[in-house]
Chain A
């Protein structure tokens, strides 16, 4: 039976969907069977990030209401053989079209077939959030080093702790800007982790290529050379139980000649 994790944050725009797509892809690269569920009803975009939009026929609301069978709605990402699937959200349905019990039933139906079921939660703490956490054994709380995101993450952790899940929530700090942390203009990793009081699952540096690759319908994790990609790969390995040291994000100093010739040293 597979594990079910919800990726959540409270605040919008911190990178929940990107994190879901990249962690899912990283787990698939490790040979695990993964199913990603988009629960952002009305504003689906997990399929967009993975470049699978054109292949949607049925969605999660169709499955929940019995209009389609689960295997009809699942979209296979052919780049990963039989390892990565997406169950897309509905685009033309009300936000409250799904009930937590329906999501739980879908997750339970997916567990025997997949090693990991990852639920992409919408922003906020309303029905969509409740749907997403209902079927999950644990949560990945995504935040950025902004105070508003950390504050919302704090609220989310409080709500998750009340639910008494199988695994305690774990933290991913996304969009880290090394230079801002280095000169003290943003909260650093230790401060955020200590403030939220939950285990750190991983860190992802701010990288233009994350946006660029997602615009192409690809996940940055597929390119192992990027620092962001390494961050996602490390998270996947930690989820699989490996002990992986935290990514070294110290910026390399660029020498005079390298700067002169626009090359990094």
Chain B
């Protein structure tokens, strides 16, 4: 079985380095393949996309592969790609899709940032801030500032008792909460006119069906 395979793609030539093969075997086969290509095509420069399958090449391994290309000045590496996700972006994606439980006291001047949805069960003091990239569901006491969708998500909502909050924001909309008759199950959302609007929590299914289904799945 070949450890190095050459494929023609729309975007150009792709060298597939098998993830089951050792690096010495890969470089030996790559050397042979590139030598044969150099003989078969005596003219013109060629860029190769390298695909490494389910393996991310480390810096040393990548240097060994690159060194093979040094013997063939007409050939170069255009890109290196693996079918593997890195831990950091994967964790960020996971966090963005989770609902985080936030408790404790958030004090005046403190800012709590969360990626994803938040279920707030603590106490948010006056002049304290709770920010989430998606929605905020309030079960605790809130006297400070709530910001949902702070990176711009206009589908984010704020739900729960916000009657004593200082201010609420969803994406780029703002409401200064003053004397009000908000109940414990108030739903704040951005309506079709791009205005921060209020409704009952029971409307969540109609207003934000995706979010509602996600909550049902929990």
Confirm or deny: A151 has a beta carbon within 8 angstroms of a beta carbon on chain B. Answer: yes
Confirm or deny: B131 has a beta carbon within 8 angstroms of a beta carbon on chain A. Answer: no
Q: How many A residues are at the interface, by size bracket?
A: 10 to 19
Contacts of B108 in A (CB 8 A): 151-152, 154-155, 158
Contacts of B109 in A (CB 8 A): 155, 158-159
Task: Find the A residue at minimum CB distance from B109.
Answer: A155
Tell me which residues from 73 to 127 in chain B have a Cβ below 8 Å from any Cβ of chain A. 105, 107-110, 123, 125-127
The listed residue (A159, A161, A195) touching B125 by CB distance below 8 A is: A195
A129 to chain B, nearest CB (A): 13
Interface of A is mostly: helix
Confirm or deny: A157 has a beta carbon within 8 angstroms of a beta carbon on chain B. Answer: yes
Contacts of A159 in B (CB 8 A): 109
Interface of B is mostly: loop
Q: How many B residues are at the interface, by size bracket?
A: under 10
A219 to chain B, nearest CB (A): 31
A154 to chain B, nearest CB (A): 4
B130 to chain A, nearest CB (A): 14
Bound complex: CA A151 to CA B107 (Å): 9
Bound complex: CA A151 to CA B144 (Å): 11
Pairs across A and B, CB under 8 Å, 24 listed: A151-B108, A151-B125, A151-B126, A151-B127, A152-B108, A154-B107, A154-B108, A154-B125, A154-B126, A154-B127, A155-B107, A155-B108, A155-B109, A155-B127, A157-B107, A158-B107, A158-B108, A158-B109, A158-B110, A159-B109, A161-B107, A195-B125, A197-B105, A197-B123
Query: Could you tell me which B residues sit within 8 Å of A by CB distance?
Result: 105, 107-110, 123, 125-127
Give 7 new A-B contacts, CB below 8 A, not counting A152-B108, A154-B127, A195-B125. Answer: A151-B108, A151-B126, A154-B108, A154-B126, A155-B109, A159-B109, A161-B107
